[in-house]
Amino acid sequence: MPKSLKNKIDPYIIDVIGRLRSAGFETYLVGGAVRDILLDRTPKDYDVSTTATPEEVRRVFRDRHTLIIGKRFRLVHLIRGRDITEISTFRKRPELEDQADRPKRCENAPENMIFHDNAFGTSRDDAFRRDFTVNAIFYDPIDDKLVDHTGLGESDLRDGIVRTIGDPVLRFEEDPVRVLRAIKLVGQYGFTMEPETGKAVRASIELICHASPSRLSLELEKILRNSYTGEILKAFHDYGFLHYYLPELDAVFETPQMDYALKLLALRGERIRSGIFRASLSTAVAMVALPFAELELGGSEEPGSLWDYYLGVESDLRHIILRLFHPLVLTHRTSSDAVNNLLMQLRFKTHRRLHSCADRKGYPGAREFAIIQNIIAWHIPDFEDSCPLPPRIPGAPKKRRHGHGHHGGRRGGNGNGNPDQAQTVQTVHAAAQAAESEPATESERDFNA
């Protein structure tokens, strides 16, 4: 057991768990948050699991804003300002006979694929229904103890091993998105596949075609917000997974343009992890698209060369973005923000009327992108100092951040707000409703990137 983990956890989360415990319910911090804390990284968000049913959770927090979401997988969102804490009830692995009523569009899916997963269970049941040992470690901050029901989670985390819980072939058939998450662990943390898990991953890659597009698009958003976006995409390519996930991007992955995009993403990741800037979804999209826009619209392979503005360039930039991420779907807002970010790069490179656009939505992300371009390609002296800081919005509340410090990429920023996260509660619940008809074996946030 490492030294006390309590000082690495947001006191608010400890209070949430404490209230459930005081009400008589076994409750733990679970999933990716525990994994990241043990790796000395600050979690992006926190998930809590308990013996309390969703209705019982609502009664415990009757003085707070709560919503029960989901039909197939019901859980509670505990809302505090712009933060959402997800509270799920312990579940057990469903029986195969419960999966007979499968959606028509999934008639050709693997025999063992799970479509219904709402049977409550014990904490041990819940641990063994999770995907990988490193994601099945529970933490009790009240008694300050780790619970590793599989007996392998802590050692696998220490050794950097990706190991499925149970037969890997069966677990990937149950939920093909686990293939994505296994490779994501390799890219994000530099982990190594346990031999049988690695063999099953390669044999199961094509199963991803049975996962619903909306689930895969949600996973893409998580990857693009991650401070290790480039490393994850490279792992996808190395395993042959990117060919099925983002085939257009895979086809150009070993080009000078993608090499430049990966350099941009790598420096972005370093700055996010050091707290210099936030993890912006639209900025990551713009970084992937930029080198290809320079080649197609500007006719140059020179990194940072950009292109001349012309009537209709916005439409052409959007087309490049949509093509690169096809067949997955980015929201209209994300693609529009990415286009605006790309267009602002022309102003930053020429320093044309920057003060007049400093108060525009998206300016902070575009400024950060330009600073990164200057470090890698432009090399304009005193560039950052000459770029106006965006004005603080009068009366705008500061964001409350989960956790403490900047371990492993806690988003930083200058207090000017993040357009990508302005729809927090509405976006999360819209995504949950969109996922209602999709096969899944665990909460979408069992694996927090």
The position carrying tokens 């209209």 is: 332
Q: Give the Cα separation of 141 and 34 in Å (integer).
A: 11
Where is 190: in which H helix or E strand?
none
Among candidates 295, 105, 63, which has minimal Cα distance to 213?
105
Q: Give the Cα separation of 184 and 134 in Å (integer).
A: 13
167 Cβ neighbours under 8 A, 6+ residues apart? none
Residues of the chain by 3-state class (helix, strand, coil), percent to 5: 50, 10, 40
First-to-last CA distance in the chain? 24
For the question of residue 45 being annotated catalytic, the response is yes
Which residue among 10, 45, 83, 420 is the active-site one?
A: 45
Task: State the angle between helix axes of 256-273 and 363-373 in degrees (0 to 180), rounded to the nearest 10.
Answer: 120
For the question of residue 131 being annotated catalytic, the response is yes
CA distances from 281 to 169, 265, 357, 409 (A): 33, 12, 21, 14
User: What are the backbone dihedrals phi and psi of residue 85, each rounded to the nearest 5 degrees, phi first?
Assistant: -105, 125
Q: Give the Cα separation of 86 and 213 in Å (integer).
A: 23
Structure tokens at 171: 């677990």
Which residue among 10, 36, 47, 250 is the active-site one?
A: 47
Question: Phi/psi class of residue 213: alpha, beta or left (left: φ > 0; alpha: ψ in -120 to 50)?
Answer: alpha
Among candidates 29, 17, 273, which has minimal Cα distance to 135?
29
For the question of residue 308 being annotated catalytic, the response is no
Which residue among 10, 36, 131, 148 is the active-site one?
A: 131
Instruction: Find the radius of gyration of the CA atoms of the chain.
Output: 22
CA distances from 194 to 157, 158, 159, 162, 177 (A): 12, 14, 11, 6, 18
H-assigned helices in 302-359? 313-324, 332-350
The position carrying tokens 């930053």 is: 348
Q: Catalytic amino acids?
A: 45, 47, 131
